[in-house]
Amino acid sequence: MTPRSARAEVTREVAQGYAGERGPLLEILHAVQAEHGYLADEDVSEIADVLNLSVAEVHGTVSFYHDFRRHPAPDHQVQICRAEACQSVGAAALFDAAQDHFAHREDVEVREVFCFGNCALGPSASIDGRLRARVTIDDIAAAESGWSR
């Protein structure tokens, strides 16, 4: 038997903490991602083993939900709301402009999300976890100016 890595041991501990709960897979996935920052292949295998599920079942759940990461997050994240209220005030153009603006930066991820609950103040965006209202590409560029390269 091959010894487990330290990461796998932590993942197993987290997963076992939910033993006895009904349908704990999503909670475990969120907890393991919070612990490690993303879900590696070995995390998926450990969770499957603890829950007596197939790796395919766990992987299917991970790939279905957009909140789960399979790789480490980049240094900066720009999330732009694409729900109807924000779409009606220019979110699609903002998303496209942000993607173009950051196309040359591997340390920035631009993602679409669906509703921050800030509908009256759209388009809304979260820049490095900070919710912003009535966002323009100039607002995003201003936030970028504070980032180190």
Strand 108-113 relative to strand 76-81, pairing: parallel
Is residue 71 in some structural domain?
no
Whether this model's pTM surpasses 0.85: no
Domain that holds residue 40: 6-64
Question: Count of domains in the chain?
Answer: 2
pLDDT by position in tens, the chain (length 149): 677 899 999 999 999 998 778 889 999 999 999 999 999 999 999 999 999 999 999 999 999 998 899 999 899 999 999 999 999 999 999 999 999 999 999 999 999 999 999 999 999 999 999 999 999 999 999 998 888 76
What is the token pair recorded at 98? Answer: 């942000």
In a domain? residue 18:
yes
- CATH number of the domain enclosing 100: 3.40.30.10
Element of type H or E holding 113: strand 108-113
Structural domain contains residue 94? yes
**Whole-angstrom Cα distance, residue 104 to residue 140?**
15
The verdict on 40 and 60 lying in the same domain is yes
Residue 70 lies in a domain: no
* 1 within a domain of the structure (yes/no): no
